[in-house]
Amino acid sequence: MDSRSDLNMLVEHVLHMAAEHDLWLPHDVIVVAVSGGPDSVALLHVLHQISIRHVPLKLVCAHVHHGLREESEHEEELVRNLARELDIPFELARIDVPSYMKESGKGFEEAARDQRYAFLHETARRWNAASIALAHHADDQAETVLMHLLRGSGLGGLKGMKIKRREKNVELIRPFLRIYKTDLLNICKQNGYTYAIDSSNYSNKYRRNAIRLDVLPFLGQYNGRISQSLVQLAEIAGMEDDFMGQSADLAYREMVRQKNGGLYFEAPSFLRLHVALQRRLIKLILNYLPLGFEIADFHKIELIRQSIIQNKSTTWSLDIGGGLACIREYDMILFMHKPPEQSKSYTYELQAAALELCIPEIGKRLKMKLQSPQNSCFSARAGSCAEAVFDAGQLKFPLTLRSRLPGDTMKVMGLNGSKKVKDIFIDAKIPPSVRSRIPVLVDGSGHIIWIPGVRRSEHAAVGSQTISVLHMCLEDIKAVELL
C-alpha cells in the first residue's frame, strides 16, 4: 500500500472519529498543539488535509518552547517552518518551568503540563477557538490507564483520556486516541514529514517514561498485546463509567433533598441501592457541596458508606473534612457544614402574659393571648408553629423561656412521675440538630410545663373549671425580621 493510501486511511479514520464524537463543525477554529514530535506533526498534516479537502476549518499551530534541552531551538524552528509551509498561523510560548516549580511546589511533569495548557487555553481564547487538538494516541492511552491502575483508581481513572472533554469553555479533542504510535511514525516516514526526536522521552526518571520503557515491555512478556488490552479496558470502563454516572444522577434526583444549606436522603432508600451506586451517590453529594471535591476519595466515601449501612445507632456525626460533616438523625442522612459545638444559651422571664417575645438565638417568636375557654383560638402561620393552652389561673408566674439544660426533667401529661427531657426528645425522634432550637417553658415553681412542638406537662391543664385560657404559640421568625 502506498503512502497516499495510508494517509487517506488515516484521514478517513479521523473524519469517522469526528462524526462519531462531534469533534468540530464547519468553520470552527482549532488550536493544534504541535511539539514537533511525529505524533503532533502527523496531526497537523491530517487536520490540514481535512480542512482543505473535506471540512472548512481554521487551524492555528501552537508550540511551547520549554528551554530545558538543546533541541528546543531546533524544535521551535521545525514547527515554525511547518506552519509556514502549510500556511497556518503560528503561536509560540517560551515558558520557565523551574521557576514555576519553585513557585507552585509541583514536580517537573505537572508544572510543565500546567504551563503548557495555560498557553493553549490563552491561545484558544485569543483566536476564539472552539477546540484545542492534542496528539495523544492509543499508546498514550495505554500508559495513562496503567498509571491510574497502579495508583488504585476506579472506573473514572481506568477510562483514561476522553476523546472529547470540555475545559475552560473550550473542547479538548484527541482525534488520534485510537491510532497507535507505529502507524503515526509510518505515516511521517512514508510521506517525508520532518519531525523531531525528544531525547527526554528515553529517560526513565519521569514516571510516564518509566511506564513506557520499563513496565509495559515487562508486561508484554505475558501479553504481547498489552497496549491493545489496556486501550480496550479504557473503552469498556468509559462506557460503564458513563452508565454509572447516569444512574447516580437519577438516584440523586429521586432521593436527595436540600435542608438548612445541606443535602440529605433517607437511609432505607439508600440501603436498597447496589453498593457501587451507594458509593457513586455519596461521591456525587460530596462533589455538589462546597469543598467536597477535595475530600471525595475512595477511603472517605467508604467510611461514610460503612457508617450508614452498619446502622449501629440512631444518631451520629462524622467529620468528613473540609468543614463538612455527615450526620445521621434516625432515618435521615445529612451532609452539611459542621454545626457549632455548643448552641447559645438564653433565658427570658415573663412576669405576666405578653403579646409576644422574640428569641433571636433560635430564630423563634413566642406569641401569647388570654382568652375565654369558649373562644380559645390562635392565628398563626400554618405548619411553622407549636401551640399549647394552659389554665391561666393555675399558672404560677413569672414564667421563664430558656434553653435546655443538662438533667432537665418534666412531668409529662398522662404519665406517672417525671421524665428526662433528653429521653422525651429521643422517644419523639427529634433529630439532635433540631433539639438545640427547641426551648423549654418553666413556671414560677421551677417546673418545666411545656416543650414547644414536643410535649406539655400535666401542670395547669385546661378543664371544666377553667375561667381564662393562656394560648401560647412558638413560631419561626423570617430571616429578614432578624436583620
The residues near 303 (Cβ < 8 Å, ≥ 6 apart) are 318, 320
**Amino acid occupying residue 163:** I
Is 36 flagged in the annotation as binding?
A: yes
The residues near 331 (Cβ < 8 Å, ≥ 6 apart) are 266, 267, 268
Strands across the sheet containing 399-402: 347-350, 399-402, 440-442, 448-451, 455-456
Helix, strand, coil % (nearest 5) of the chain? Answer: 45, 20, 35
Is 72 flagged in the annotation as binding?
A: no
Q: Is 477 left (phi over 0), alpha (psi -120 to 50) or beta?
A: beta
Beta carbons of 442 and 448 less than 8 angstroms apart: yes
- In whole angstroms, give the CA distance from residue 430 to residue 22: 53
Rg from Cα positions in the chain: 34
469: Cα within 13 Å, side-chain hemisphere: 19
Task: Tally the residues of the chain.
Answer: 483
Give the 3-state secondary structure of residue 259: strand
Is 38 flagged in the annotation as binding?
A: yes
**Amino acid occupying residue 102:** K
- In whole angstroms, give the CA distance from residue 408 to residue 77: 83
- In whole angstroms, give the CA distance from residue 450 to residue 410: 8
Is 37 flagged in the annotation as binding?
A: yes
**Amino acid occupying residue 49:** Q
- In whole angstroms, give the CA distance from residue 265 to residue 296: 18
- In whole angstroms, give the CA distance from residue 210 to residue 218: 11
Which H or E run includes 366?
strand 364-371
**Residue among 370, 463, 378 at smallest CA distance from 413:** 463
The residues near 345 (Cβ < 8 Å, ≥ 6 apart) are 402, 403
Is 452 flagged in the annotation as binding?
A: no
- In whole angstroms, give the CA distance from residue 214 to residue 208: 10
**CA dihedral sign, ordered 438, 439, 442, 448:** positive
In Å, what is the CA distance from 263 to each residue of 149, 249, 285, 335? Answer: 32, 14, 7, 5
Is 104 flagged in the annotation as binding?
A: no
Q: Is 357 left (phi over 0), alpha (psi -120 to 50) or beta?
A: beta
Give the 3-state secondary structure of residue 119: helix
- Binding-site positions for ATP read 35-40
- Binding-site positions read 35-40
